[in-house]
């Protein structure tokens, strides 16, 4: 059984910092990533910026960078998004994941739903919707820094089939997010950042992480997650992210949990979802071995979004005698690991 590729959707208004974040992820993650860029017009500025960061060799570039300039991607899903995904998935054995940069006008939900289309749903999983917002613009009272540029983008898109007002579009991007990043964080006063974070939390799903960043810099594992073949290599120590100003220093605790026990898929999902909200779990990846199943259930969480599917693993993978779980957890809360272990104790050891 071939591996499923993680697809990360990066959305946000024009000028919020999507391409800057993409360049950082491509050049620092040490993962082989393909990129789908949605922009307008014949001159691909975003594509040029990504191409110039030298994230892959010239020979690989045509296969790993795809520019779509026929209009807002959520309005051209069937014509553009799905055929492009199928093209990239033909290279799946050579890739670790796919990044999708939407236009500033895109509604994330149609793209998320498209990943469940029969042609591709067994080959991918949603690694998360990342919404990046302009902190400087929000501090000035607007969700977008250049309203004239956004309106010009809207007028120049012949395929746009939704005329959503800016504030409603912003709310949709926030409510669809699994991860929210506040760009231009260094230009904000502490009280401005606190107020923006509070307002975003009100509009987002319960448990959605909100983090301030500068120049697109953030630990790639927070956005891209841990690769399945790296589960055993995670360091049980805080991940220090020094890209932030002093009033938002980010300390993320990583942990590896292995427990032999009997637990159902439904019980595990309910347990982990509740703990993710309570203990600020940013990302979780792992496996659950169920009785009478020859291959494990793969687990993936970003915020409180839970995904699972059965997939084979290498022969040297840890495997319990009857049933058990193996989890890698990234959390803001240093007590998340202890809380998960205590909760799993309620199900008793496998025998």
What is the C-alpha to C-alpha distance for residues 148 and 15, in angstroms, rounded to an integer? 12
What is the C-alpha to C-alpha distance for residues 28 and 19, in angstroms, rounded to an integer? 14
Query: Residue 11: phi, psi to the nearest 5?
Result: -125, 170
CB 219 within 8 A of CB 300: no
User: What pLDDT is recorded for position 247?
Assistant: 46
Query: How far, rounded to the nearest angstrom, does the alpha carbon of residue 168 sit from its chain's CA centroid?
Result: 22
CB 266 within 8 A of CB 292: no
Place of tokens 């970003």: 302
What average pLDDT does this structure show over 191-204?
94
pLDDT, tens digit (0-9, with 9 covering 90-100), for 16-50: 899 899 999 999 998 999 988 876 543 445 566 67
User: What pLDDT is recorded for position 130?
Assistant: 95
User: What pLDDT is recorded for position 114?
Assistant: 83
Cross-strand partners of 287? 298, 326
What average pLDDT does this structure show over 201-229?
87
User: What pLDDT is recorded for position 125?
Assistant: 92
Share of the chain above pLDDT 70, in %: 77
What average pLDDT does this structure show over 314-340?
92
Query: Residue 261: phi, psi to the nearest 5?
Result: -165, 170
What is the C-alpha to C-alpha distance for residues 25 and 185, in angstroms, rounded to an integer? 18
Among the listed ranges 41-50, 60-69, 289-298, which one has the minimum average pLDDT value? 41-50
Q: For the chain, what is the largest distance between any 2 Cα atoms, rounded to a whole number of angstroms? A: 65
Query: Residue 161: phi, psi to the nearest 5?
Result: -115, 15
| Helices (runs of H) and strands (runs of E) counted in the chain | 12, 13
pLDDT, tens digit (0-9, with 9 covering 90-100), for 70-111: 555 554 555 677 888 888 888 878 889 999 988 777 778 888
In the predicted structure, residue 274 carries a pLDDT above the cut 50:
yes
User: What pLDDT is recorded for position 242?
Assistant: 44
User: What pLDDT is recorded for position 62?
Assistant: 72
User: What pLDDT is recorded for position 142?
Assistant: 86
Query: Residue 175 belongs to what H/E stretch?
Result: helix 166-175
What is the C-alpha to C-alpha distance for residues 209 and 342, in angstroms, rounded to an integer? 24
């Amino acid at each position: 059984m071939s591996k499923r590729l993680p697809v990360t959707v990066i959305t946000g208004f024009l000028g919020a910092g999507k391409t800057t974040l993409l360049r950082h992820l491509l050049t620092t993650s040490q993962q082989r990533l393909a990129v789908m860029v949605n922009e307008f017009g014949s001159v691909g500025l975003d594509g040029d910026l990504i191409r110039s960061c030298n994230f892959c060799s010239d020979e690989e570039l045509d296969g790993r960078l795809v520019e779509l300039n026929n209009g807002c991607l959520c309005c051209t899903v069937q014509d553009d998004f799905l055929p492009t995904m199928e093209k990239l998935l033909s290279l799946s054995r050579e890739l670790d994941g796919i990044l999708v940069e939407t236009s500033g006008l895109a509604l994330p939900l149609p793209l998320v739903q498209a990943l469940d289309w029969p042609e591709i749903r067994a080959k991918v999983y949603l690694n998360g919707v990342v919404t990046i917002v302009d902190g400087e613009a929000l501090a000035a009272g607007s969700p977008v820094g250049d309203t004239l540029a956004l309106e010009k983008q809207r007028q120049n898109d012949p395929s746009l089939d939704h005329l959503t007002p800016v504030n409603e579009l912003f709310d949709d991007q926030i409510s669809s997010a699994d991860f929210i990043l506040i760009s231009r964080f260094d230009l904000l006063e502490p009280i401005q950042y606190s107020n923006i974070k509070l307002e975003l939390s009100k509009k987002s799903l319960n448990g959605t992480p909100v983090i301030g960043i500068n120049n697109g810099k953030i630990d790639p594992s927070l956005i891209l997650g841990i690769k399945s073949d790296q589960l055993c290599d995670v360091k049980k120590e805080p991940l220090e992210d020094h890209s932030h100003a002093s009033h938002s220093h980010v300390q993320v605790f990583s942990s590896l949990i292995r427990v032999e026990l009997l637990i159902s898929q439904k019980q595990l999902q309910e347990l982990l979802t509740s703990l993710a909200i309570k203990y600020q779990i940013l990302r979780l990846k792992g496996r659950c071995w169920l009785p009478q199943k020859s291959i494990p259930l793969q687990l993936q969480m970003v915020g409180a979004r839970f995904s699972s599917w059965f997939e084979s693993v290498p022969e040297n993978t840890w495997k319990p005698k009857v049933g058990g779980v193996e989890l890698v957890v990234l959390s803001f809360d240093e007590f998340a690991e202890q809380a998960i272990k205590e909760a799993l104790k309620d199900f008793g050891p496998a025998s």
